[in-house]
Amino acid sequence: MAEKKVIAVAGATGAQGGGLVRAILSDPSGGFAARALTRNVNSEKAKELAKLGAEVVAADVENVESLKKAFQGAYGAYCVTFFWEHFSPEKELSQASNMAHAAKHAGVQHVIWSTLEDTRKWVPLSDNRMPTLMGKYKVPHFDAKAEADHMFTELGLPVTFLLTSFYWDNLIHFGMGPKKGADGKLSFTLPMGDKKLPGIAAEDIGRCAYGIFKKGREFIGKRVGIAGEHLTGGQMSAALARALGQEVRFNDVPPDVYRSFGFPGAEDLGNMFQFKRDFEQAFCGARNLEFARTLNPALQTFDQWLARNKSHIPLE
């Protein structure tokens, strides 16, 4: 049997990378092997991946030499940065640069860069509909990823740009689930009016990425977007109500109110939702559901995700 093509996966103990590692390992005859990158090979999550059959290697995206070693001999590399660990667009840029240089050094044949839109193309810094953040961004965690795109192309890497979507898992891990009001009733807050939010089960991002690697050269040099469904806040609230068996009101607040919530990243997220609201067609249009399903036939709908995950959503 031909030797398996190794995919080196950044963020392997996390959402996107973890989904990709599990997708590779659940398809033993697919011709690919998973190399999981982690800063701590002894963590429980790293050990779990090893148990499933991944090659677990130490690497830190802050350290280009560790990445060069981790990418050595790999056919593919999945590159992702971790904005919410540090809230620094500059760190995302330097970490993306590290991964691009390491992929070039290792001669990787297919890189997937997990990126997002540069919102400043739609909302220039001079546009006051939303505040400029950190001096030169509208949505820092989007804009910096897009800014990093050129680092991959300028090195001449065979790269696919993967536009991801809002994880429904944010309702579990990111404090975005429905909240109980003074009257004991649940409400789901989304500052998007009647516009649709492309969402996805985080696990499906990795499965779609695996679909891209399996297609060989087809998507090299391309920009592809994925989502599980495009849903309004009202539709998400109705789905939550069905799944939870209780009323869930849709709390449609203006982006200004969302920005003022005060939690770390509230302004960034308020701008992000406003961008998705004001440019619904472009943003949804870049994330084709049928296309995502061709990459990942098991792509979940929000109802399916809820059926599996509703008991994990904290309802405070």
State how far the Cα of 36 lies from the Cα of 21, in Å rounded to an integer: 7
Per-residue contact string for residues 137-156; x = within reach of ligand NAP by CB under 6 A: ----x---------------
Q: Is 284 in the site for ligand NAP (CB under 6 A)?
A: no
Kindly tell me which residue out of 113, 137, 166, 283 binds ligand NAP, with binding defined by CB under 6 A. 166
Pairing between β-strand 186-189 and β-strand 179-180 as defined by DSSP bridges: antiparallel
Cβ of residue 223: shortest distance to ligand NAP, in angstroms?
Answer: 15
Q: Is 14 in the site for ligand NAP (CB under 6 A)?
A: yes
Cβ of residue 75: shortest distance to ligand NAP, in angstroms?
Answer: 20
Cβ of residue 244: shortest distance to ligand NAP, in angstroms?
Answer: 21
State how far the Cα of 260 lies from the Cα of 227, in Å rounded to an integer: 28
Residues in the chain, overall count: 316
H-type alpha helices, 157-232: 170-173, 202-214
172 or 241, CB closer to ligand NAP?
Answer: 172
State how far the Cα of 131 lies from the Cα of 266, in Å rounded to an integer: 12
State how far the Cα of 85 lies from the Cα of 192, in Å rounded to an integer: 26
44 or 290, CB closer to ligand NAP?
Answer: 44
Q: Is 61 in the site for ligand NAP (CB under 6 A)?
A: yes
Cβ of residue 83: shortest distance to ligand NAP, in angstroms?
Answer: 4
Chain Cα centroid distance, residue 135: 25
Residue nearest to ligand NAP (CB): 14
Amino acid identity of 303? D
Q: Is 38 in the site for ligand NAP (CB under 6 A)?
A: yes
Q: Is 266 in the site for ligand NAP (CB under 6 A)?
A: no
Q: Is 32 in the site for ligand NAP (CB under 6 A)?
A: no
Amino acid identity of 173? H
Cβ of residue 294: shortest distance to ligand NAP, in angstroms?
Answer: 20
Q: Is 198 in the site for ligand NAP (CB under 6 A)?
A: no
Helices 64-71 and 89-106 pack at an angle, to 10 degrees, of 40
Q: Is 80 in the site for ligand NAP (CB under 6 A)?
A: yes
71 or 167, CB closer to ligand NAP?
Answer: 167
Kindly tell me which residue out of 8, 9, 15, 21 binds ligand NAP, with binding defined by CB under 6 A. 15
Nearest to 110 by CA among 9, 21, 7, 226: 7
H-type alpha helices, the chain: 15-25, 44-52, 64-71, 83-86, 89-106, 140-147, 149-154, 170-173, 202-214, 233-244, 255-259, 266-278, 280-285, 289-295, 302-309
Q: Is 82 in the site for ligand NAP (CB under 6 A)?
A: yes
DSSP code of residue 137: B
Amino acid identity of 270? G
88 or 304, CB closer to ligand NAP?
Answer: 88
- Number of neighbours of residue 141 by Cβ within 10 angstroms: 22
Q: Is 70 in the site for ligand NAP (CB under 6 A)?
A: no
38 or 119, CB closer to ligand NAP?
Answer: 38
Cβ of residue 1: shortest distance to ligand NAP, in angstroms?
Answer: 31
Q: Which residues bind ligand NAP (CB under 6 A)?
A: 11, 13-17, 38-40, 43, 46, 60-62, 80-85, 141, 164, 166-167, 170
